């Protein structure tokens, strides 16, 4: 069952709730009656295994710059 994080717009309290995909999102904070907003986070990606190129998870390196007049 997924865990969702909510934040109350009135009191600023953050809390986690276990909810199934079919449940409707919470709208009201039980403690203060404020409006709740679901907090979204980015998902981390880890490249493991032989199916990825070495450059998939590395930062790009700057290419060598040429001096003026050299091309």
Ranges of each domain in the chain? 3-39
CA–CA distance, 11 with 18 (Å, rounded to integer): 21
* Whole-model pTM over 0.85: no
User: For 9-62, what is each residue's pLDDT tens digit?
Assistant: 999 999 999 999 999 999 999 999 999 999 998 888 877 777 766 665 665 565
- The strands making up 3-8's β-sheet, listed across from edge to edge, are 14-18, 3-8, 36-39
For CA atoms 50, 56, 58, 61, give the dihedral sign: positive
Q: By the 8 A CB rule, do 32 and 11 touch? A: yes
CA–CA distance, 19 with 22 (Å, rounded to integer): 8
């Amino acid at each position: 069952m997924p865990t969702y994080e909510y934040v109350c717009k009135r009191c600023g309290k953050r809390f986690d709730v276990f909810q199934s995909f079919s449940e409707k999102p919470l709208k009201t904070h039980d403690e203060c009656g404020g409006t709740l907003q679901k907090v979204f986070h980015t998902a981390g990606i880890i490249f493991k295994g032989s199916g990825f190129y070495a450059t998939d998870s590395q930062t790009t390196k700057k290419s060598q710059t040429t001096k003026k007049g050299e091309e």
